[in-house]
Amino acid sequence: MFSFKKAVPLLMIMVVLLSACSQNIEALQQLGQNKEESRVEKDTPITSNEPSIKLDKELEEADTFDPIVLFELTEDDFKKPATEIPYYSFGRIEFITQEIIQGFAEGHFPWRGSPDHAAEILTQNLIPAGVSPDQVSHNRIRVENENQADELTIVEKIVPDLGTFTISLQFHPESGGICFISKIVWQPAKR
């Protein structure tokens, strides 16, 4: 049964709570407004997801960025059997098989044995959509220990507006002459 004697104290409690909440909301709104004003003054974001105007200006003023290693094999990798060495292929890491080695020996995919062609073909994924492969240049930079088992060839792939990819390629004695990409370093283009 409803009793006014019991309802009055409950109503009083509700009024006090609503009043307190109202004051807290006003205080929070004022606090938020002060934060917004200080944010504008300091030119810093409220959240980490907002871009910082100051950081954007610093990036625009930067001429170059540090090179970024995208892929790298270790010396220990080349001590493994050829079929256990990670093989960079179009942005994926695969492993060559005995069938691939046999096919190469039979004359299939001869580009796998040419560091220049392997660098050009296996790294096609580094060319963004909208850039024609004709716009990309490939230059052999240097060869160490040429025509020896431990030959190292370095090729540069220059992609307009993106930067330069330095691609190192090595052979493995058990690969039958197939070269492996051992390192890819990206030097972003100057802005």
> How many structural domains comprise the chain?
2
Give ∠ CA 147-151-157 in degrees, rounded to 5.
Answer: 110
Give yes or no: residues 139 and 120 share one domain.
Answer: yes
Q: What is the mean pLDDT of residues 9-13?
A: 43
Give yes or no: residues 136 and 159 share one domain.
Answer: yes
Residue 58: per-residue pLDDT:
56
Give yes or no: residues 51 and 92 share one domain.
Answer: no
Beta bridge pairs of residue 185 = 69, 166
Give yes or no: residues 86 and 178 share one domain.
Answer: yes
Give yes or no: residues 159 and 75 share one domain.
Answer: yes
Interatomic CA distance for residues 122 and 136, integer angstroms: 14
How crowded is residue 59: how many other Cβ atoms within 10 Å of its Cβ?
12
CB 119 within 8 A of CB 169: yes
Instruction: Band the pLDDT of 146: cuts 50, 70, 90.
Output: confident
Give yes or no: residues 54 and 74 share one domain.
Answer: no
Interatomic CA distance for residues 84 and 68, integer angstroms: 25
For the cut 70, the answer to whether the pLDDT of residue 28 exceeds it is no
Give the domain extent around 28: 4-61
Between 163 and 1, the more confident residue is 163
Say how far residue 167 (Cα) sits from the centre of its chain.
17
Write down the mean pLDDT value for the chain: 77
Give yes or no: residues 80 and 137 share one domain.
Answer: yes
Give yes or no: residues 111 and 80 share one domain.
Answer: yes
How crowded is residue 189: how many other Cβ atoms within 10 Å of its Cβ?
14
Please write the tens of the pLDDT for every residue from 29-85: 554 554 444 444 444 444 444 444 555 555 555 566 899 999 999 999 999 999 999
Question: Is this prediction's pTM over 0.85?
Answer: no
Sequence-distant (≥ 6) Cβ neighbours of residue 12 within 8 angstroms: none
Q: In sequence order, what DSSP letters do the residues of 98-113 get, joined into one string?
A: HHHHHHHHTTS-GGGG
How crowded is residue 162: how many other Cβ atoms within 10 Å of its Cβ?
17
Sequence-distant (≥ 6) Cβ neighbours of residue 117 within 8 angstroms: 111
